[in-house]
């Protein structure tokens, strides 16, 4: 086989893999979601949380808007289901009573994939955090599961530093609920 023919076969195979990864994304995950605090893990100081999900090919942008009184904090994590990424400003919902803070100048390694036949986004991050004993790496495994009706998003976070998962339940924001 000539090198150019082999190159075309390899490129065609890679293109098929990329298209398969894009096709497996759950389009129901895309949009804006508002936390339902009554059925979620406590936010410890935050009063409101919105999560906006944007899908662009293999890239998944998770944009958080957190509010405490008049203080509003916004942050975005952009992950890629085609391969691992490194994030300098990785955002995680802080559980203030745990005294676990982002390490200064830390770089988070993150991977994302579609599981359950593309219905669930699963992420795995290794993020440096500062604790009373110094800087350590925390592993966070998260699943983003959309209900069958597409109106509810359940986010389940399991931290290597905790025995119990954090569970956040969001409702889809529509024009009527956006206010």
C-alpha of 108 from chain center: 13
Domains (range + CATH), the chain: 3-172 (2.40.128.20)
Residue 107 CA to residue 90 CA, distance in Å, equals 8
Tell whether the model's pLDDT for residue 161 goes beyond 90.
no
pLDDT attached to residue 25: 86
pLDDT attached to residue 175: 79
Tell whether the model's pLDDT for residue 56 goes beyond 80.
yes
Is this prediction's pTM over 0.85? no
pLDDT attached to residue 8: 58
Tell whether the model's pLDDT for residue 51 goes beyond 50.
yes
Per-residue CA distances from 81 to 23, 136, 147, 152 (Å): 11, 26, 21, 22
Q: What is the pLDDT of residues 110-153, one digit of tens each?
A: 999 999 999 999 999 999 998 888 899 999 999 999 999 999 99
Long-range contacts of 43-46 (CB under 8 A, 24+ apart): 43/93, 44/94, 44/95, 44/96, 44/97, 45/96, 46/93
pLDDT attached to residue 174: 86
CB contact at 8 A, 147 and 120: no
pLDDT attached to residue 171: 98
Q: What is the pLDDT of residues 59-110, one digit of tens each?
A: 999 999 999 899 999 999 999 999 999 999 899 887 655 678 888 999 999 9
Q: What is the mean pLDDT of residues 158-163?
A: 90
Q: What is the mean pLDDT of residues 35-61?
A: 94
């Amino acid at each position: 086989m000539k090198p150019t023919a082999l190159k075309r076969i390899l490129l065609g195979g890679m293109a098929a893999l990329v298209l398969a990864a894009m096709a497996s994304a759950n389009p129901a995950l895309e949009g804006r979601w508002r936390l339902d605090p009554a059925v979620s893990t406590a936010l410890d100081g935050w009063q409101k949380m919105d999560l906006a999900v944007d899908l662009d090919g293999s890239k998944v942008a998770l944009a958080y808007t957190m509010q405490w009184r008049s203080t509003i904090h916004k942050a975005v994590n952009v992950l890629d289901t085609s391969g691992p990424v490194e994030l300098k400003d990785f955002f995680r919902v802080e559980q203030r009573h745990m005294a676990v803070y982002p390490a200064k100048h830390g770089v988070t390694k993150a991977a994302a994939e579609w599981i359950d036949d593309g219905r669930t986004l699963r992420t795995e991050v290794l993020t440096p955090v500062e604790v009373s004993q110094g800087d350590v790496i925390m592993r966070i495994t998260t699943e983003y599961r959309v209900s069958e009706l597409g109106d509810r998003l359940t986010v389940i976070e399991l931290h290597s530093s905790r025995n119990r998962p954090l569970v956040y339940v969001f409702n889809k924001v529509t024009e009527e609920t956006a206010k």
